Chain A
Amino acid sequence: LAKTTQPISMDSYEGQEVNITCSHNNIATNDYITWYQQFPSQGPRFIIQGYKTKVTNEVASLFIPADRKSSTLSLPRVSLSDTAVYYCLVGLRMDSSYKLIFGSGTRLLVRP
């Protein structure tokens, strides 16, 4: 069973900020929250990862409240090329690695 819940789809327009929220009520103490982007016929691409509070990199920001039961991926000023499926995953720690179970993901469509 997937450990996360996301909206199935979202629409936006070029230049807008997009926020995608993910619920992970059963997150464990050691779990990290990781977001991936996937284009058709490609493997998922790492976007951002966090444990708590806020993380920002050159492409996105990740907001995690204190209880860590949800997280929000923020994409500033999206472009047409950001149209993709976005997955929120919570790590299920196995020794030195993680076992990731994918949810349905969020299909983001960016319109001109």
Chain B
Amino acid sequence: AQSVTQLDSQVPVFEEAPVELRCNYSSSVSVYLFWYVQYPNQGLQLLLKYLSGSTLVKGINGFEAEFNKSQTSFHLRKPSVHISDTAEYFCAVSPYTGTASKLTFGTGTRLQVTL
């Protein structure tokens, strides 16, 4: 079984400041890692994913994340946020089993960007 922990339920930040959203996971098998963003009353949009290869992954909207296997972390970063980045961010994992690719999500981090 897998579990995902997002330690920060809310992260307030000023526009143009850098931000890091933390994600730690636990799994008895190898996993793929994802970050999704959800705007109010909307579905989820994929920001980025780590499948294999370079541990630094770049995604859409200027976001990037780094996979750290020893610390079982996959923190999301952006060097300069914009008001439009205000949303809920979910970290998720999927087992590398070759069968069902269902996702296990964290509880989310609300990013609130203000002027």
Q: Do A and B bind each other?
A: no
Q: Which of B's residues lie within 8 Å of A, judged by CB?
A: none
